Structure 1
Amino acid sequence: MSKEFVVIGLGRFGGSIVRELNALDMDVMAIDADEARVNEFSDIATHAVIADTTDEAVMKSLGIRNFDHVIVAIGENIQASTLTTLILKELGVKKVTAKAQNDYHAKILNKIGADTVVHPERDMGRRIAHNVASASVLDYLELSDEYSIVEIKAGERLAGSSILELDVRANFGINIIAVKRGKDIIVAPDPNENIEYNDILIVIGHDNDLNRFEKKLVNE
């Protein structure tokens, strides 16, 4: 069965989610208090509604508890974001993902029951910082506050060595979970697999350990 989504807040972040869900042929209700924003998505979302989501009676009238997943993408109004999230959980919505403005806001959202809290600006900032700091780091995905997955291009320091010889688990506390080689992806690579120049290593570990690995064996 196709899932049904609600996106509350149609700024850049929320709007991009609505567009992508629409491209994936998902049913999505788009909600905002701003009429102009709602009109912008009237031909994109399955339903586009002008509503005050801090009003519990309004949320009930929209049948919000019947949707599989509600994404609270409200912009700078932390009070509206928090109250909306609280109402959603009290109404019994199965899954609520909420956008946090800062770490303090994230703590509040977690305490009132948000199932997932995202920090799009912070996370994008970290990805860009890692990408610009090292030409070898191609992508960076934060798994938690301390653990990440990084795509690293193999240069001369890594090329020619086997995964066993590098022994990154013992030396750095990280794991190579896959290797991209051209169009091929080697998942759970054999320890005897030799790394080739320009291979892309997909590595998981604690941020401090990943940084040590980058400084010692990757940056050239």
Structure 2
Amino acid sequence: MKGRKFAVIGLGRFGSAIARKLSERGAEVMAIDINEEKVEDIKEDVAYAITLDSTDPKNLESQNIQEMDAVVVAIGTNFQDLILTTFALMELDVERIIVRAQDPIQKRILEKIGVREILSLEDEVSNNVAEQLLNPSVLMSIRLPDDYEIIEVKAPRIICNRTLADIGLREKYNINLITLMRRGAIDDKMHIIGVPEPSTKILENDIIVIFGKSKDIDRFLEINE
């Protein structure tokens, strides 16, 4: 995960959790808020903590925000500031902009102005968001005690059209395949393919559900990107 660069704008509880989680996973994180106290609170946990008004494109450009792999806008107290910040990021051609909506009305407004990735309060989980930023192919992540994890991920291209025995998930990566999901030929919906056997073949567009230590899962994802 090293070498990835992210910015989080808005350091409330949610934004701070995202910033810290990304930083813990080895990403270079820039945490931004107009409130100096919030910036001070997180400065020891991220690469850069900056106090500035994010509604001004010049302020963002001065921090080379357009060079980030993704920017999360998590401003929760002022929707106008959130909109202006989002517009500023769009003007600067930031590659990936992810914006948090407080309610369905905000979500509709964000959709209208062209925001493609919107986080809704009802389904936001900081660990999931961080995981999806670091690994866009990850669809779901559940953290378990003792640094274990279950993730749902699009099957990496390099393991497609190979059997589980050939891939050797347990032997090579020390992780286990719990199950996999495959799109039905008739109804075009994803279906669970039960308990996999060594002879089970992973196909293109399959979604696999794997279990193991976080460090082993990270290694599997990095090697097979």
> Normalised by the shorter chain, which TM-score bucket?
0.5 to 0.7
C-alpha distance 57-124 of structure 1, shift in aligned 2 (>3 A): closer
User: Hey, what's the Cα distance between the residues in 1 that align with 2:17 and 2:98?
Assistant: 15
Which structure 2 residue ranges, 5 or more long, are not aligned? 126-139, 141-151, 153-183, 203-208, 210-225
2:75 counterpart SS class: coil
TM-score (norm 2): 0.56
Computed over aligned residues only, the root mean square deviation of the Cα atoms, in angstroms, reads 3.1
The CA deviation at 1:116 is 0.5
Matches within 5 A, 1:7-86: 7-86=8-87
**Are the counterparts in 2 of residues 177 and 187 from structure 1 also a CA contact under 8 Å?**
no
Q: State the distance in 2 between where 1:93 and 1:55 align.
A: 15
Alignment length, in residue pairs?
Answer: 147
SS in 2 for 1:48: strand
Q: In structure 1, what is the Cα distance between the partners aligned to 2:124 and 2:114?
A: 24
Residues 7-59 of structure 1, C-alpha deviations (whole Å, 9 max, x = no match): 00111111110111011100010001111110111111110000110112211
CA contact (8 A) 1:31 1:38 kept: yes
User: What does 1:77-96 align with in structure 2 at a 5 Å threshold?
Assistant: 77-96=78-97
* Structure 1 alignment gaps of length 5 or more: 126-140, 142-148, 150-168, 189-201, 203-220
Give the Cα–Cα distance (whole angstroms) in 1 for the partners of residues 38 and 72 of structure 2. 16
Residue 187 of structure 1 deviates from its aligned partner by: 8.6
* Mapped partners of 1:175, 1:115: distance in 2: 23
**Aligned-pair CA distance for 1:63:** 1.4
Shift of 1:64: 1.1
- Partners of 1:87 and 1:29 in 2: CA distance: 17
Structure-2 change in CA distance of 1:82 and 1:177 (3 Å): same
Q: SS of the residue aligned with 1:29?
A: strand
Identity among equivalent pairs (%)? 35
TM-score (norm 1): 0.57
* SS at structure 2 position matched to 1:75: coil
Q: Is the 8 A contact 1:82 1:108 kept in 2?
A: no
- Paired with 2:95 and 2:31, the residues of 1 have a C-alpha distance of 18
Query: Could you tell me how far apart the structure 2 residues matched to 1:107 and 1:51 are?
Result: 27
Q: What are the Cα deviations for residues 90-147 of structure 1, in whole angstroms up to 9, with x where unaligned?
A: 111001000011122112222223230110x22269xxxxxxxxxxxxxxx7xxxxxx
Q: Which amino acid aligns with 1:97?
A: I
1:173 is displaced (CA, Å) by: 8.9
Select the structure of larger CA radius of gyration.
1
* Cα pair distance change 1:27/1:124, threshold 3 Å: closer
Distance 1:187 1:123 in 2: 32
